[in-house]
């Protein structure tokens, strides 16, 4: 799988760890920045990574900033993006299984190395279960198109 990986300056160190884990698991990483710990704006990196997913240049993306909140807000502005801010292994797994999340957003300040590895591993290995969840994901897509999801 091809994974776009991005961060702001606060998430740079965790981004490097994410790329190492994903590569170790056999995935190809596209590094969209930041390139170091010098200040950059998180919306820029969220845009680059989420655009790669929306244009099918990457299968999924993983983003990191201090809290993960800004990255998730920015990434979710793009059509076709379902960015999930996750704080533990279960939320990472459910974001894929139930919500077909294609962008994982993480807090660089709140996740340790052991938890990070578990979250990345489970998120990359979990497939969307479909079924009753398929209808709900289609309703999210309807909202993106300006439609009332209750009509789906």
Whole-number pLDDT of residue 33: 97
Q: Which one from 9, 29, 86, 98 is the annotated catalytic residue? A: 98
CA atoms of 64 and 9, how far apart (whole Å): 9
Tell me the average pLDDT across 136-147.
96
Question: Which domains are present in the chain?
Answer: 2-151 (3.40.1400.10)
DSSP type of residue 128: P
Q: Which one from 9, 29, 65, 86 is the annotated catalytic residue? A: 65
Question: pTM for this structure?
Answer: 0.97
Q: What would the two tokens of residue 114 be?
A: 């052991």
Q: Is 94 helix (H, G, I), strand (E, B) or coil?
A: helix
Residue 27 known to be catalytic: no
Residue 86 known to be catalytic: no
CA atoms of 128 and 63, how far apart (whole Å): 20
Q: Is 105 helix (H, G, I), strand (E, B) or coil?
A: strand
Could you report the per-residue pLDDT of 80-108, keeping only the tens digit for each? Answer: 999 999 999 999 999 999 999 999 999 99
């Amino acid at each position: 799988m091809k994974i776009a990986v991005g961060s702001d300056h606060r998430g740079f160190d965790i981004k490097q760890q994410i790329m190492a884990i994903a590569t170790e698991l056999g995935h190809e990483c596209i590094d969209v920045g930041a390139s170091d710990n010098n200040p950059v704006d998180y919306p820029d990196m969220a845009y680059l990574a989420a655009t790669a997913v929306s244009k099918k240049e990457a299968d999924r993306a993983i983003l990191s900033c201090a809290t993960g909140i800004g990255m998730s807000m920015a990434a979710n502005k793009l059509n076709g993006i379902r960015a999930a801010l996750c704080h533990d292994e279960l939320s990472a797994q459910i974001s894929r299984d139930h919500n077909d999340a294609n962008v994982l957003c993480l807090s660089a300040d709140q996740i340790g190395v052991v938890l990070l590895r578990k979250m990345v591993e489970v998120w990359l290995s979990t497939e969307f279960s479909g079924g009753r969840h398929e209808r709900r994901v289609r309703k999210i897509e309807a909202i993106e198109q300006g439609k009332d999801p209750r009509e789906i």
